[in-house]
Amino acid sequence: MNIIVCIKQVPGSNKAEVDPVTGVLKRDGNDTKMNPYDLYAVETAVRLKEQSGGKVSVITMGPPSAESVIREAFAMGADEGFILTDRKFAGADVLATSYTISQGIKMAGEYDLILCGKQTTDGDTAQVGPEISEYLNIPCIANVTSIEEIGDKGLTVLMDMQTAIEKCFIEYPCLVSVDKDIFLPRLPSYVKMKASKDQKINFITYEDLPDKDETKVGLNGSPTKVQRIFPPSVNDKRELFSGTAEEMTETVLTKLKENKFI
């Protein structure tokens, strides 16, 4: 089975803040990691390969430095890596990102299954997977908590609907977004890391895309526009207390009584 996993490089911490006075976004731009939810997708892919053979490719869109997450995937057992990187991809929203990645997937060869993580920790939208499937005209299922059966024609999976579990059969080729905890992600292997140190990564630029249409990528291809960013609002009916532990305990109890919680 040929599997393509979509992964993303995200900031290492979520401690970004807007300075309320200057409006400047404060963040350490150098600290990055693989999106934690993608680890589950890579793990799922590698397990499926171990069971039924085939190849695992990973694909990402981002700056050239996103190479590091491809290398991490190699160390977990991925065989091939693709990076979509071009300044024409700058400023892409969900739609433009999905389009660009779907174009990259068309260049990555034949596939049976595309796997995505639940969502990213920097965008938190969970939208890119389903949008990619639309561009590739393949069926998709998200919130998959378990793969029950790997068939010749498709997969039998469980989808978590919060109050119910839907059991579905999905035909290849298809896209599946896996939930956290579907499998425990393995640690990157030192041996694999050494072995894949010089492995070639395929860089894909705008010029390489099968459909070169500037109105579909980057900022030009993004129907949503960020108008402004600002610090979150503060609650104006708030009180702040400090003192000894005894005094603070008393304050909490008073507030609980005042509001009839006890």
Question: Per CB under 8 A, which of residues 123..182 are in contact with other proteins?
Answer: 123-131, 133-135, 138-143, 154, 156, 159-171, 174, 177, 180-181
Residue span 16-35 as binding mask against other proteins, x where in contact by CB under 8 A, dash where not: xxx----xxxxx-xx-----
195 touches other proteins by CB under 8 A: no
Site mask, other proteins, residues 78-107, x = CB under 8 A? ------xxxx-xxxxxxx--x---------
Q: How far is the CB of 256 from other proteins (least distance, A)?
A: 8
Using DSSP's 3-state secondary structure scheme, residue 197 falls into coil
Q: Please tell me the distance from the alpha carbon of residue 56 to that of residue 139, in angstroms, as a whole number.
A: 20
- Residue 3 or residue 170: which is nearer to other proteins going by CB? 170
Distance (Å, whole) CA 57 – CA 115 = 10
CB atoms within 10 A of CB 112: 19
Minimum CB–partner distance for residue 53 and other proteins (Å): 23
**What is the distance between the alpha carbons of residues 229 and 131, in angstroms, rounded to a whole number?**
25
Q: Which of 208, 26, 256, 250 is nearest to 104 (CA)?
A: 208
Q: Which is nearer to other proteins, 22 or 110 (CB)?
A: 22
**Tokens 């029950």 sit at which residue?**
148
67 lines the binding site for other proteins (CB under 8 A):
no
Binding-site size for other proteins (CB under 8 A) equals 109
> With respect to other proteins, which residue has the nearer C-beta, 16 or 195?
16
Q: Under DSSP, is residue 177 helix (H, G, I), strand (E, B) or coil?
A: strand
Distance of closest approach, residue 64 Cβ to other proteins, in angstroms: 7
CB atoms within 10 A of CB 26: 10
Q: Are 113 and 3 in contact (CB under 8 A)?
A: yes
- Which residue type is seen at 89? F
Question: Is residue 227 a contact point for other proteins (CB under 8 A)?
Answer: yes
Least separation, in Å, of the C-beta of 226 and other proteins? 5
Residue 148 per-residue DSSP state: E
What is the closest distance, in whole angstroms, from the C-beta atom of residue 52 to other proteins in the complex? Answer: 20
Among 194, 212, 248, 257, binds other proteins (CB under 8 A): 248
For the chain, how far is it from start to end, CA to CA, in angstroms?
60
Give the containing element (helix H, strand E) for 156.
strand 154-160
Residue 241 binds other proteins (CB under 8 A): yes
- Position 68 contacts other proteins (CB under 8 A): no
